[in-house]
Amino acid sequence: MNVTEIITYIEQNFNRTQAIGLNSLIFLSLREDTSVGYQWKSWGFVDIPKQVIDWCGCMDEHDLIELATAIANCLIDGIIPTAVEPANAQIIAMQAIDKQKQPSLLSDY
């Protein structure tokens, strides 16, 4: 399986929590210089299928970084459209500022 095929599988079969979990395992394996499978066993992320963990085990460091980046992008793409709803946006028109005299001071009263 290549990165594109794994991303397609993740998009079709994983929920947000599983995608974040897999990304965490990938980053932990890179940081600790271990395998994704080792991290999976250590942390007990049983909601992530063993098949996906095995696919990650066949990847080199560069491919794992590419996969983690793609997962993060998918997660961000899922957040951004929800957060920015143009239906609620209002058009802001530039308004001229009227030149005003010096505002009165409290001591003037």
pLDDT digit string, tens, across residues 58-101 = 999 999 999 999 999 998 887 665 454 555 555 555 566 666 66
Q: Is residue 58 part of a domain?
A: yes
Rounded-to-integer distance, Cα 81 and Cα 69, Å: 19
Number of domains observed in the structure of the chain: 1
Q: Is residue 107 part of a domain?
A: no
Q: Is residue 105 part of a domain?
A: no
- Exposed/middle/buried for 103, CB within 10 Å: 0-12, 13-18, 19+? exposed
Per the structure, the complete domain to which residue 47 belongs is given by 3-82
pTM above 0.95, yes or no: no
Q: Is residue 53 part of a domain?
A: yes
For residue 90, give the 3-state DSSP assignment: coil
Query: E-strand spans in 30-105?
Result: none
pLDDT 10s digits, 27-60 = 999 999 999 999 999 999 999 999 999 999 999 9
Instruction: With beta carbons less than 8 A apart as the criterion, state whether 51 and 5 touch.
Output: no
Q: Is residue 88 part of a domain?
A: no
Rounded-to-integer distance, Cα 15 and Cα 89, Å: 29
The answer on pLDDT for 13 being more than 60 is yes
Q: Is residue 94 part of a domain?
A: no
Q: Is residue 42 part of a domain?
A: yes
Q: Give the pLDDT confidence score for residue 85 in this predicted structure.
A: 52
Q: Is residue 51 part of a domain?
A: yes
Q: Give the pLDDT confidence score for residue 101 in this predicted structure.
A: 66
Rounded-to-integer distance, Cα 67 and Cα 57, Å: 12
